[in-house]
Structure formats: C-alpha cells, structure tokens
C-alpha cells in the first residue's frame, strides 16, 4: 500500500490535493508538526480541515507533536483511518493507543531513527500499526537512512513469531529505489518523490512496481 505525504506540496495546494485524490494512492498521509516535538510547524488544523473536507482517499494522520491527546481530539474530526503518534513524545503509550481506538480509528505508533525496536516490545501487542521513521521527523526531501530496513525486518519477524496484528509503515526518503529495501513493510509513505513530479500517477505506478 502507498500513503502519499502532502507535506511537500507548496503550490496550488487545493488543486494538487484534488489531483492526488484521483490517483491510486491507498492513503493520503497528513503530517502534523507543532514546532516543539519537531522544530518545524505544519499548517493549522483549520486549514487542513478545509483542504481535506472533500477528499475521498482514506487519511493517515502522523502526529509529530508533544501534546498528543490535544491533537487526537482535533484530528479525529477529519475521520482518519489511522492516527499515529510518536513513542518518544509520551510516557503513557498504551493509554494513548486505547484512546485512539475508542474513536474507532486504527492506532499507530512511530519510532524515530535512534529508537530501537527492543524499547517498544511491551507496547507491540496493543498496536494496529508501527511506523518506522527512515529520516529524522520534521522535514520532507531528506535522505533515506539505510538502517531502517533492519528495523522493519525485525518487526516483521516479531509479529510472525508472536502472532501480533500490527501493520508496518515506513516514512521518509522513500523513492522507487529505497522502497525495494522495505519489502516487509505494508505501507510505504512517500512525499516528494510523488508530489515534486507533474505526474503523480506515474510516480505511484513506479512505486507500485517496486512493491510487486
């Protein structure tokens, strides 16, 4: 599955979101940043809500924020299929997971490049999705970190051994070359590789080919 990040669409946003909505992307990936958990800021909730109100593609919300609950309360209102928060942002991860699930939304948890899979072992059985960050969160257009597939493969091995149900998602620097290294991930997030191009369809097709 492909989740297209709209973070790097800077011009004609409304029109380009409509264009993306007509492609075969599985999800639209919505990056939310608060200037605290990461130094960058994203558009405000009201702007996102307005931009996304007519979108038919399922939404995959990625919260890169410190005050996780506050942002869940906001973003649950755009009816996302998935809300993902960062492991590093809170101490009460399981409570947050249950909170997201209480709205009938899939609960995802992201880990930054320096966070090891070992650290999240106790949380894994509660999760619908684990997001492996393959760049430092905060910005688009960064280089894929080549250690990331090791974590993806580890998570895949654990879920098979323990019969856990979580999906694996990877986010950051994913293009038609680096996607090949992530074949054990279920959802590939890709931003600039798709949205810097004039043909979103063509880029999505290229990614799909590498995943077949």
Residues recognised as catalytic: 31, 171
Using the contact rule CB under 6 A, the part of the chain among 1-9, 76-84, 147-155, 180-188 near ligand DX5 is: 1-9
Residue 107's φ and ψ, nearest 5 degrees, are: -100, 120
Restricting to residues 40-69, which ones interact with ligand DX5 according to CB under 6 A? 62
Q: Name the minimum Å distance from CB 211 to ligand DX5.
A: 15
The answer to whether the beta carbons of residues 207 and 179 sit under 8 Å apart is yes
Site string for Zn ion, 53-92 (x = CB under 5 A): ---------x------------------------------
Residue 55: other Cβ atoms inside 10 A = 17
Q: Name the minimum Å distance from CB 67 to ligand DX5.
A: 18
3-state secondary structure 53-85: CCCCCCEEEEEECCCHHHHHHHHHHHCCCEEEE
Distance separating alpha carbons of residues 12 and 2, to the nearest angstrom? 22
Restricting to residues 139-198, which ones interact with ligand DX5 according to CB under 6 A? 139-142, 171-174, 189-193
Q: Total residues at the site for ligand DX5 (CB under 6 A)?
A: 22
Reference 147, options 133, 166, 128, 160; nearest CA is 133
Q: Name the minimum Å distance from CB 126 to ligand DX5.
A: 22
Does residue 169 interact with Zn ion by CB under 5 A?
no
Q: For residues 31 and 128, which CB has a smaller minimum distance to Zn ion in the complex?
A: 31
Q: Which does 80 bind (CB under 5 to 8 A by kind): ligand DX5, Zn ion, none?
A: none
Reference 90, options 36, 39, 48; nearest CA is 36
SS3 call for 135: coil
Distance separating alpha carbons of residues 109 and 123, to the nearest angstrom? 9
The token duo for 16 is 């380009």
Does residue 171 interact with Zn ion by CB under 5 A?
yes
Reference 149, options 176, 183, 191; nearest CA is 183
Q: For residues 149 and 173, which CB has a smaller minimum distance to Zn ion in the complex?
A: 173
Using the contact rule CB under 6 A, the part of the chain among 89-97, 131-139, 146-154, 162-170 near ligand DX5 is: 131-139
3-state secondary structure 195-211: HCCCCHHHHHHHHHHHH
Binding residues vs Zn ion (CB under 5 A):
31, 62, 171
Binding residues vs ligand DX5 (CB under 6 A):
5, 7-8, 29, 31, 62, 135, 137-142, 171-174, 189-193
């Amino acid at each position: 599955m492909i989740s297209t990040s709209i973070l790097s669409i800077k011009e004609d946003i409304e029109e380009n979101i409509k264009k993306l909505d007509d492609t075969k992307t599985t999800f639209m990936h919505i990056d939310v940043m608060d200037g605290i958990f990461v130094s960058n800021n994203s558009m405000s909730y009201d702007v996102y809500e307005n931009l996304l109100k007519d979108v038919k593609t399922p939404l995959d919300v990625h919260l890169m924020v410190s005050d996780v609950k506050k942002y869940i309360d906001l973003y649950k209102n755009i009816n996302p299929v998935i809300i993902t928060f960062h492991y590093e942002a809170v101490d009460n991860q399981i409570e947050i997971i249950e909170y997201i699930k209480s709205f009938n939304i899939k609960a995802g948890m992201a880990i930054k490049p320096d966070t090891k899979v070992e650290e999240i072992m106790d949380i894994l059985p509660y999760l619908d999705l684990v997001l492996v960050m393959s760049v430092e969160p905060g910005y688009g257009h960064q280089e894929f970190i080549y250690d990331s597939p090791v974590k993806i493969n580890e998570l895949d091995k654990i879920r098979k051994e323990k019969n856990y149900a979580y999906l694996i998602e990877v986010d950051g620097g994913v293009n038609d070359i680096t996607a090949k290294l992530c074949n054990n991930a279920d959802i590939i997030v890709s931003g600039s590789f798709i949205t810097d191009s004039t043909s979103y369809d063509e880029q999505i097709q290229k990614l799909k080919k590498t995943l077949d």
